[in-house]
């Protein structure tokens, strides 16, 4: 089928220049649109995305509203200085508060049942306990919260509880933000695959010879950023998740971390377990932008559920999926101007729920600088 010529009316519609075009309709991209429109209500803002809905991580994550377990912070100590770790925690904590205030707890099914990091290795547990004073001091400096991490026990496991962590419904989160953007007059173009971006001229080239132009561009494609901007060093990381069928006598109430944050699980629905992660088991294979299931990881998580979490016999998987995260070498996100007409924000490093809206707000303020 040949491409149809544009009519007089279509030419006027598609050739007009926007004030701001945002590439990527995930949490970060839509937050840029929301806060920019709040400050510039009369300007034309367009968000484009390659999917029918955001397909990276914003609606495919596990719904953890978290700012980091003790062993995750311990791993961060090996790759980054303390001041930057504290700043990242501050951003995560503030980002969660901003998300809740902007969208409303009821609209996103936000709950705060309490979070726990469990341990199966006593040596690792003792090392984590030895760091409690340090990480608790970080939370005081970052968020003004005292005694966030405390020694405890849950379901027979030594554990460290994490106050102020919660969970939410990622789908409702994105739907609420989308509706707020529509109310403000933000335009959307779904299923619009970007071929390339000319950041110097503010032109976005789509398929079928379609060009979109804006006074300013914001590229918020997280894990897929390197395919559009080669100079931005973002490594993708695929995360696998499954949800069980309802489990009788379900005992894992709350949200849980394990092994430096690489494993995560929580209660969802009616006595169902969401379990995901273990990317560290096959890290090279999982450094990909391809969706799909790594059977090695899936089988390992099933074994973890049976042998560590001790789920009762007969449990089964109801739903499974994968999402793609974007990582920087230090786990600190990228937010910078790359030309007079373009900025990039990416590399949320598995903390998109906590960081996405806060980074979007900061990016919206950078657009006009």
Q: Of the ranges 58-62, 241-245, 300-304, 345-349, which one carries the lowest mean pLDDT score?
A: 58-62
Q: For residues 201 and 182, what is the distance between their CA atoms, to the nearest angstrom? A: 27
Give the CATH number for residue 261: 3.30.9.10
Residue 29 structural domain: 8-59+171-234+330-366
**How many domains does the chain contain in total?**
2
Whether 350 is in a domain gets the answer yes
Q: Which of 3-7, 197-201, 300-304 has the lowest mean pLDDT?
A: 3-7
284 and 256 in one domain?
Answer: yes
Res 16: pLDDT: 76
Average pLDDT, whole number, for the chain?
93
Instruction: State the average pLDDT over residues 274-292.
Output: 95
Q: Do both 195 and 250 map to the same domain?
A: no
Kindly state the average pLDDT of the residues 331-349.
Answer: 94
Q: What is the pLDDT of residue 8?
A: 74
| 307 part of a folded domain | yes
Name 358's Cβ contacts closer than 8 Å, sequence gap at least 6. 91, 92, 94, 95, 98, 99
Same domain, 209 and 247: no
Name the pLDDT band for 3 (thresholds 50, 70, 90): low
Name which residue leads in pLDDT, 5 or 237.
237
Residue 117 within any structural domain of the chain: no
Q: What is the CA radius of gyration of the chain?
A: 21
Q: Given this model, what pLDDT does residue 114 score?
A: 82
What is the mean predicted confidence (pLDDT) over 328-332?
89
* Host H or E run for residue 214: strand 211-219
Question: Mean pLDDT, to the nearest integer, of 319-347?
Answer: 94
- In this structure, the answer to whether residues 295 and 320 fall within a common structural domain is yes
Helix (H) or strand (E) holding 73: helix 70-77
230 and 246: one domain?
Answer: no
Would you list the DSSP string of 2-41? PPPPPPHHHHHHHSPPEEEEEE--SHHHHHHHHHHHHH-T
239 plus 229 within the same structural domain: no
Judged against a pLDDT cut of 80, whether residue 147 lies above it is answered with: yes
Same domain as 360, residue 226: yes
> How does residue 52 score in pLDDT terms, banded at 50, 70 and 90?
confident
Is residue 53 a part of any domain in this protein? yes
Whether the Cβ atoms of residue 304 and residue 247 lie closer than 8 Å to each other: no
Query: What is the per-residue pLDDT across 162-191, written as a single tens digit (0 to 9) for each?
Result: 999 999 999 999 999 999 999 999 999 999
Is the pLDDT at 210 greater than 90, yes or no?
no
The stretch 80-92 carries a mean pLDDT of: 93
| Residues 321 and 339 grouped into a single domain | no
Distance from the first to the final alpha carbon of the chain = 45
Q: What is the pLDDT of residue 80?
A: 87
């Amino acid at each position: 089928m040949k491409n149809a010529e544009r009519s007089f009316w279509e030419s006027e519609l598609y050739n007009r220049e926007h004030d701001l075009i945002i590439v990527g309709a995930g949490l970060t991209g839509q937050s840029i649109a929301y806060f920019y429109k709040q400050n510039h209500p009369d300007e034309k803002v367009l968000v484009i995305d390659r999917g029918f809905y955001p397909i990276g991580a914003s609606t495919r994550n596990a719904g953890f509203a978290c700012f980091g377990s003790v062993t995750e912070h311990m791993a961060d100590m090996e790759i980054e200085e303390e001041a930057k770790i504290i700043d990242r925690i501050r951003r995560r904590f503030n980002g969660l508060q901003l998300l809740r205030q902007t969208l409303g707890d009821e609209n996103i099914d936000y709950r705060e049942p309490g979070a726990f990091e469990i341990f199966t290795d006593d040596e690792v547990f003792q090392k984590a306990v030895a760091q409690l004073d340090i990480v608790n001091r970080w939370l005081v400096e970052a968020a003004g919260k005292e005694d966030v991490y405390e020694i405890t026990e849950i379901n027979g496991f030594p554990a460290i509880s994490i106050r102020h962590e919660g969970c939410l419904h990622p789908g409702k989160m994105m739907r609420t933000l989308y509706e707020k953007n529509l109310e403000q007059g933000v335009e959307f173009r779904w299923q619009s695959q970007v071929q390339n971006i000319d950041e110097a001229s503010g032109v976005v080239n789509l398929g079928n010879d379609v060009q979109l132009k804006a006074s300013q561009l914001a590229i918020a494609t997280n894990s897929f950023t390197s395919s559009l901007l080669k100079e931005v060093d973002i490594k993708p990381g695929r995360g696998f998740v499954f949800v069980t069928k309802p489990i009788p006598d379900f005992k894992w109430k709350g949200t849980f971390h394990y092994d430096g944050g690489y494993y995560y699980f929580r209660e969802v629905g009616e006595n169902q377990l969401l379990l995901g992660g273990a990317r560290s088991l096959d890290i090279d294979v999982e450094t990909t932008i391809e969706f799909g299931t790594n059977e090695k990881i899936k089988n390992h998580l099933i074994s973890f559920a049976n042998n560590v979490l001790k789920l009762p016999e007969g449990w089964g998987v109801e739903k499974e999926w994968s999402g793609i995260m974007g990582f920087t070498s230090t786990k600190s996100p990228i937010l910078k101007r790359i030309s007079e007409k373009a900025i990039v924000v990416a590399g949320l490093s598995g903390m998109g729920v906590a960081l996405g809206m806060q980074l979007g707000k900061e990016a919206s303020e950078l657009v006009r600088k």
